[in-house]
Structure 1
Amino acid sequence: MALLEIRDVVKRFGDFTAVNHVSLSVEAGEFFTLLGPSGCGKTTLLRMLAGFEEPDEGQLLLDGQPLNGVPPEKRPVHTVFQSYALFPHMTVEHNVAFPLKMAKVPAEQIKARVAEVLEDVRLTQFARRFPHELSGGQRQRVAIARALVNRPRVLLLDEPLSALDAKLREQMQLELINLQKEVGITFIYVTHDQGEALALSHRIAVMSQGKVEQLDAPENIYSYPKSRFVADFIGQCNLLDATITEIAADRMKVEIAGVGIAEVLPVAGAAVGQQGTLTLRPEKIKLGATLPADVPDEIHFKGKVHDCLYLGDVTVYIVELENGTRIETMLPNAAPGRARFFDDNDQVELAWRFDAGHFLLA
């Protein structure tokens, strides 16, 4: 049995349906992420798990026991908010001890458990400091320590890193991964940041308009999106409209609108004449002034550089094919002293393997 089950849950606010018949399960010890754009329903779902909202329909179960109607303070679930919500007049150790005092835990137990959890988040030396004396990352760890001190079955995290700068966010991502492994508590994490979700999660539920579009491991969501929305939302992706022209056992031929014939991996339920979308990640596409034409299983097209974007570790190139279609690709900036390989209007060639993309049926 899964630790947490969400069964056909619906939440409405007036005429607006924020969560629309969502069903999913979360395993014990899992780092599970709810990912999607603003307004997709992920935070509403988290608030229902925390007890701050009640479902209009459906069931929430933890260890097989219903959560519906159970007040937040009686659920073995704690929430870490984006704002941290620390008490400014209390020291770190007093902030962390607060939930235990409210639960009337004996003083000697409080001291031991606070010391244990501060060691887990590497804040022992900051125990007597106040929140204003800490960095953003340290305050975040205090908030996590306070949520963990009661040993909840599930820790809910609502965009906890969004207020941090890029470098600190990366450090905190690594700390969260390590902390989750150490404490073994189930994390349910809400974010709109695709890179963060891919880096942190065992599994991701991608949400849109109150529904789960895809629930899978990060590598499957990235490489094998199940919908055009997921392909477009997760990272950068070329979306090429195409029609199936031929189907064989190990591959299909598709005609990409305005581009030409390409080969792709077959998909279940496909039929000749059926329309769909070829999803092709930029890093799967080769780019060069000239490319060998005799490489097996590769598709080649010619074009010119329309634009480029320098991102430090890579440069993204927008290549306009001879018919005007634009395809995004990228090259790593690995050569010493050189940041750009091509300039606007340079003639180039593109190539990708038949199995580089993923075909979505319309």
Structure 2
Amino acid sequence: MGKKHPGIVFFSGGTALNGLAAYIADLNPECSYIITTFDSGGSSAYLRDAFDMPAVGDVRNRLLALADTRSPERANIVKLLSTRLPSIGVRNSLQDQLDHLANGSHPLMEGLSDVVCKILADRFSLFVDMSEGRFNPTYASLGNIILAAGFMAHQRVLAPPIAQLSRLINARGVVRAATIDNGHLAVRLQNGEIIAGQHLFTGKEVDPIPSPVDGMWICSGINDPWPRSVHASSLAMMLVSEADMIVYPMGSFYSSLLAALSPQGLGQTISLNPCPKIFVPNMGYDPELIGHDVTLQVKRLLEILRMDNAAYIKQEDVLNAVLVDSENGDYPGGLDIAALEKLPVKVIDRRLVSDESEGLIDPALLAPELLKLASSNIFT
């Protein structure tokens, strides 16, 4: 029996795609998301330092965006997993909250069945036992803690806790980490500066970078910018090989999109799947894209996609089209359709911005366009 919906795979991270993911989940629950795990800031940094693990914040973010909250219990689970401990407070009092979660007595456990309460309490209990005072609970995400505990409980493998959390919230889509390896991001700026650590170049936790990004790679740590090999997870590559369409969507260009594509093996796997591959450029302000027009973004995207074997991976095997709204879209670096067509890539010009979306892409317009493209023969 054939699939009821086309299988669309998105590469991303962060929050920019959450609106589209939530919207398209109601139209096509067979979409999949391959998520970067290189974040090095905020509470993710505390978890990574304490347990030498990949960042799970973007994974948690996407799972919660896909949650089916029509059930009151699932809505309560999402509320718990979306909660952060206070950003200001005595460490002992924050630890007390974790202890209450571990024994099931925390107010956030109200409204949960005994079975679900025990599952979550056991995870919090395991986390408390493992952390042994090494973890700073300030502003900690409870969803991240659950994933971290599951990661440790499953011999440092991330797929099982992702699958368990997906079942608890009935996620309407598949979420996979791009890699199971523990790496960080480093960039080189045009002014020659090298920055190791994603949180230091996204413009969210520190001042925006003073010079355009001129290259990005995966490194071992924020104190070690030397490039290292990080391999794509087999589950991510399986999703790619079975996709009916692959989308490189809007979001932080380097730290979300290119980061999710950077693990070795993904570009090669993408090239072997003859399905359509589409890039949806950012609208609005992205601190990572100073000095980048859409044409340069496409060139950088192609560099990453062909990185596995540039001599043999053809451009047309990894990117077929760029989806834009030339009339209503705001592309701060500029949109030159003639330059894009010379690369060459097919430019698909559609209405993506609505009167209500404040100059950004409206998921209600983008989602049906992607579904139509996935089912059309426009690329044959």
TM-score, normalised to structure 1, is: 0.29
Bigger RCO (CA 8 Å, 6+ sep): 2
Richer in helix (by share): 2
